[in-house]
Amino acid sequence: MSSKKAFVIATTIVLIAVMAAPAMAHNWGCWKQPNRTVYVRNTASNYSQANAAIDEWNNDTILSMVKVSYHTEISVFDGNSGNTGWGGLASIQSYSGCNILHGHAQVNTYYSYSSNGKRGVFCQEVGHLFGLDHSNDGGCMGGGYYYSIDSNYNVVSHNISDISSKYSGVPLAPIGPEPNHGEGPALEDHEGPLVHALWYDNPRNLSEVMKLSSAIVIGEVTGVYDAPDIVLPVEGLENNESRVPTQSIAFDVQQSLRGDVGSSFDLFHTGNEHFVLDGDPPYRVGERYVLFLTPREDGTYRVVSPEGRFAVERGALKPFSERDFAGLMKGSSLLSLVRDIKEREEILPLQ
């Protein structure tokens, strides 16, 4: 057999093997539900959209969703959380090991989604509380990141297989008056992200993140302060309310690359040391950043999304998003980013 023919046959075999291989599972760390019977309470004002999302996970996967009217494993709700940058949150409130004992799946009604889009956000946040990460598969778990969630709002075959892989061999539990898994540790006992956010804006390249920004600065953190919680009335939660912690981050501006926020400004940040968003961890005094900013109504600013936040360490960039252009810029020099911004500055309008 000629070497060329052998190469063709070997290549064909490899391609067949790759095509036959199962799609990679997209897991959020080790997180999962204790068993396949999952209790859920839906108190959302957009009840029908939330209910449709819950029904899809129940009908299309090996999970069994039990709808109840009391505080339980997953609380699904919505409300106007303001100009936070995120349209949805999945937050782990208590846990035992890798088991999620109680979680919140919420939609921020400050942002405008279609009816199907709201359903998609509910679908994604509930999916995170089964232990799934984002996935580029045409379904709700990739909505808002790889494509529009207004048109890609369903549970799809890849999500179904991810659930099957994660919960294979995990039994259903007898349905009782309410689940009893015991109390998990306090949130401060856990290191790492406990919250997944669906960001309303998801820029794919430098030009897009610049278009979303009213200012671009290089600044240093001079103070980190607790700020008022985001409080929503939610029946059945402790004190009948949901609380999301926030911080105010004081910055001194070292260089303005675009726009003008003065010599210092305050940055709004969702979360704190114990309530950590995936891709948007806490700030610390002395850290240096390139920030792509947009204003808030109270005079503070926020980053447009995790793709608009880059730490500067020894002149090199450390992105907080691994997606698209941001992830590719890891280790790039600050000077190269400044040059790229200046090249685009004259042709892109300020917000």
Residue 135 sits in a domain whose CATH number is 3.40.390.10
Report the pLDDT value the prediction gives residue 180, as an integer from 0 to 100.
Answer: 61
Clarify whether residues 240 and 185 are in a common domain.
Answer: no
pLDDT tens per residue across all 351 residues of the chain: 443 343 333 333 333 333 333 456 789 999 999 999 999 999 999 999 999 999 999 999 999 999 999 999 999 999 999 999 999 999 999 999 999 999 999 999 999 999 999 999 999 999 999 999 999 999 999 999 999 999 999 999 999 999 999 999 999 988 877 776 555 555 555 666 899 999 999 999 999 999 999 999 999 999 999 999 999 999 999 999 999 999 999 999 999 999 999 999 999 999 999 999 999 999 999 999 999 999 999 999 999 999 999 999 999 999 999 888 899 999 999 999 999 998 887 655 555
In a domain, 31, yes or no: no
Domain limit, last residue, from 198, 215, 231: 198
Clarify whether residues 70 and 175 are in a common domain.
Answer: yes
In a domain, 7, yes or no: no
Clarify whether residues 43 and 184 are in a common domain.
Answer: yes
Clarify whether residues 48 and 150 are in a common domain.
Answer: yes
| Bridging pattern class, strands 195-199 and 86-96 | antiparallel
Rg (CA), the chain: 22
Domain limit, last residue, from 157, 176, 198: 198
- Joined tokens for residue 228: 């008022």
Task: Show the domain range for 247.
Answer: 206-345
Clarify whether residues 137 and 253 are in a common domain.
Answer: no
Clarify whether residues 120 and 238 are in a common domain.
Answer: no
Q: Read out DSSP for 233-253?
A: E-TTSGGGEEEEEEEEEEEEE
In a domain, 100, yes or no: yes
Clarify whether residues 299 and 171 are in a common domain.
Answer: no
Clarify whether residues 263 and 190 are in a common domain.
Answer: no
Contact criterion met (CB below 8 Å) for 131 and 166: yes
Q: Read out DSSP for 17-57?
A: HHHHSPPPP-B-TT-B-SSSEEEEEE--SSHHHHHHHHHHH
Residue 276 sits in a domain whose CATH number is 2.40.50.120
In a domain, 295, yes or no: yes
Domain limit, last residue, from 198, 217, 249: 198
Report the pLDDT value the prediction gives residue 151, as an integer from 0 to 100.
Answer: 94
Number of compact structural domains in the chain: 2
Report the pLDDT value the prediction gives residue 183, as an integer from 0 to 100.
Answer: 53
Report the pLDDT value the prediction gives residue 2, as an integer from 0 to 100.
Answer: 43
In a domain, 12, yes or no: no
Report the pLDDT value the prediction gives residue 320, as an integer from 0 to 100.
Answer: 92
Distances from the Cα of 224 to the Cαs of 91, 165, 166, 194, 272, in angstroms?
Answer: 22, 41, 38, 20, 10
CA distance 13 to 185: 50
